[in-house]
Amino acid sequence: MKKSNKETYGITEAINKCPFCGGEADISYNGSFRYVICTECNAVGPKKDTSTYPPMSNIKCYQDVIKLWNNRTFASKEISESTVKAYQEMYNIINKGK
């Protein structure tokens, strides 16, 4: 099995499963932005910019985006709160009895 980015960075915080598809999520980056992304459906959590952090805060930045992902506070303009709610309800129904 491919090593996750989380393992590569030695981050021990648990990352919740994707609220949309229930898939495994991992940390990722684009330029100075850090975020959590679902490995199944590519849903992206709230992003944090490492350039707004003190130097050598890469891990701290990842821990923060994991916290945001786990709290499901999607502030993205693309995904409205009502959409997230609808998906969560769907997800709950699918996972009932599991």
What residues line the site for Zn ion (CB under 5 A)?
Answer: 18, 20-21, 23, 38, 40-41, 43
CA distance 8 to 11: 8
Our CB check for Zn ion shows the closer of 29 and 91 to be 91
Our CB check for Zn ion shows the closer of 41 and 75 to be 41
Our CB check for Zn ion shows the closer of 51 and 92 to be 92
Our CB check for Zn ion shows the closer of 38 and 61 to be 38
Shortest Cβ distance from residue 62 to Zn ion (Å)? 19
Shortest Cβ distance from residue 26 to Zn ion (Å)? 11
Long-range contacts of the stretch 19-24 (C-beta < 8 A, 24+): 19/43, 19/72, 19/84, 19/87, 19/88, 19/91, 20/87, 20/91, 21/91, 22/91, 22/94, 22/95
Shortest Cβ distance from residue 45 to Zn ion (Å)? 11
Shortest Cβ distance from residue 38 to Zn ion (Å)? 3
Structure tokens at 17: 């499963």
